[in-house]
């Protein structure tokens, strides 16, 4: 699994071969819209009106003919109202894959770190914990989703920046933390659903997409965590992957 990470991510970060297990279960469902039921109506068939019997006369009685049944006019049968049309179910579109977008720079508090591939996710979570602890102590609320910016890789691990968008500058930062700007510019957006260690398929698909479109990526890429990795089960993660283009 780790060997594929090195191959797939080397295409995104040429400076080193990334050894990263990544798998996306790209999901998309489109709901079917039920056909409305046809309107049904009942049209009553009125019974024939009663005719008065012929008057008696001295001439020989004609041959007897059956008299129509006498009675009051029948009440019309109730009309069945048309069936109400069923409301269409909402349609869920598939996750973006290779969607062109433009990243806007945001003010972020960041911490630099290194990780090896065997404990990569735990290392990233620890970096997020350190940033969140700092912000909580100073009463600063994040203004966006947590991000990881991968800066270099080799066969044993990688270096990264863990970033959290903020509106104000934190004070008394440790040596390994700083305030800066998140990446900006033209990029492609992909979506991964599932665990961090199961991202092989996502990055393989990203690499194939870049090859098919003959696109050249910059020497970095960004993961934006739409679900909080500190509180979400690892297999329930939803991550936007951004690949900046040259």
pLDDT tens sequence across 97-146: 899 999 999 999 999 999 998 899 999 999 999 999 999 999 999 999 99
Top-confidence range, 25-29, 37-41, 86-90: 86-90
**Highest-pLDDT range among 1-10, 89-98, 111-120:** 111-120
Confidence band (pLDDT; 50, 70, 90) for 92?
very low
Measured distance CA(150)–CA(148) in Å, rounded: 6
Region 90-102: mean pLDDT is 77
Q: What number of helices (H) and strands (E) belong to the chain?
A: 3, 8
Tens digit of pLDDT for each residue in 157-190?
A: 999 999 999 999 999 999 999 999 999 999 999 9
CB 103 within 8 A of CB 195: no
Could you tell me the residue ranges of all domains in the chain? Answer: 2-25+94-244
Supply the pLDDT for residue 127: 98
Decide if pLDDT at 23 tops 80.
no
Fold of 2-25+94-244: Multidrug-efflux Transporter 1 Regulator Bmrr; Chain A (3.20.80)
The region of weakest confidence among 56-70, 73-87, 206-220 is: 56-70
Cβ(66)–Cβ(145) below 8 Å: no
- Which one is predicted more confidently, 11 or 126? 126
DSSP letter assigned to residue 183: -
Which pLDDT does position 198 carry in this prediction? Answer: 87
For 50, 60, 62, 70, 240, the CA distances from 56, given in Å and listed in that order, are 18, 10, 10, 19, 99
pLDDT at position 113 is 95
Region 73-92 average pLDDT: 52
How sure is the predictor about 206, in pLDDT bands with cuts at 50, 70 and 90? Answer: very high
- Mean pLDDT of the region 51-73: 48
**pLDDT of 211 strictly over 50:** yes
Length of the chain as a residue count: 246
Confidence of residue 155 (pLDDT cuts 50, 70, 90): confident
Least confident of 29-33, 63-67, 130-134: 29-33
Q: Mean pLDDT for the chain?
A: 76
Round to whole Å and give the CA distance between 1 and 10. 15
Beta-strand runs (E) in the chain: 97-103, 107-116, 146-153, 157-165, 177-181, 185-193, 221-225, 238-244
Task: Indicate whether 16 pLDDT > 50.
Answer: no
């Amino acid at each position: 699994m780790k060997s594929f990470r090195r191959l797939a991510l080397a295409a995104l970060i040429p400076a080193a071969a990334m050894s990263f297990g990544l798998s996306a279960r790209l999901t998309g469902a489109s709901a079917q819209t039920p056909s409305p039921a046809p309107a049904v109506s009942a049209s009553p068939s009125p019974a024939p009106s009663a005719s008065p019997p012929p008057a008696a006369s001295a001439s020989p009685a004609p041959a007897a003919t059956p008299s129509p049944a006498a009675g009051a006019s029948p009440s019309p049968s109730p009309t069945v109202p048309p069936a109400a049309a069923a409301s269409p179910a909402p349609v869920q579109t598939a996750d973006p894959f290779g969607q062109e977008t433009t990243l806007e720079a945001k003010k972020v508090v960041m911490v630099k770190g290194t990780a090896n591939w065997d404990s990569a996710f735990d290392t990233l979570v620890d970096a997020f914990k350190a940033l969140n602890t700092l912000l909580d102590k100073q009463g600063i609320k994040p203004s966006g989703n947590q991000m990881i910016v991968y800066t270099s890789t080799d066969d044993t691990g990688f270096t990264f920046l863990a970033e959290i968008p903020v509106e104000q500058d934190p004070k008394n930062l440790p040596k390994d933390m700083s305030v800066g700007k998140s990446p900006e510019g033209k990029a492609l957006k992909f979506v991964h659903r599932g665990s961090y260690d199961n991202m092989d398929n996502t990055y393989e698909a990203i690499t194939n997409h870049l090859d098919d479109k003959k696109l050249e990526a910059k020497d970095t890429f960004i993961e934006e965590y739409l679900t909080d990795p500190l509180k979400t089960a690892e297999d329930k993660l939803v991550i936007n992957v951004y690949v900046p283009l040259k």
